[in-house]
Amino acid sequence: MGEGALPPLKIADWLSARGKDPVTLNKLKKLLSHEFNLLSANEQQELIAEIFDIHKEISNVGLDKIKKDKRIDIYLTEYNINDFYENIEKLKSKFDDL
């Protein structure tokens, strides 16, 4: 994760530090909807930091590196650890293609 809008980070480190922190559905909805674009730059940074940054540090968020015109897909399913690693590899390849 990182090397873009957020500093580089190993997913294992993020999961250890933040994996048990709940994220409300309303915050995810705000992040992933047109409502995000209506927020001030500071509010956008705050929301991204709260959800994704390991230390919830607003200054770590680089809004200039966020591609707001790109589509994202999110899949919510139960899966085993092998599926988790397979999904990580898929994400890596998508980021390599950017």
- The structural domains of the chain, with segments of one domain joined by +, span 11-69
> What's this model's pTM, rounded to 2 decimal places?
0.65
Q: Which DSSP symbol is given to 58?
A: G
Between 81 and 93, the higher pLDDT residue: 93
Whole-number mean pLDDT of the chain?
83
What is d(CA 15, CA 62) in angstroms, rounded to the nearest whole number? Answer: 21
Does position 56 have pLDDT exceeding 50, yes or no?
yes
8-34 pLDDT per residue, tens: 888 888 888 988 888 888 998 898 888
CA 92 and chain centroid, separation:
14
Q: What is the pLDDT of residue 6?
A: 86
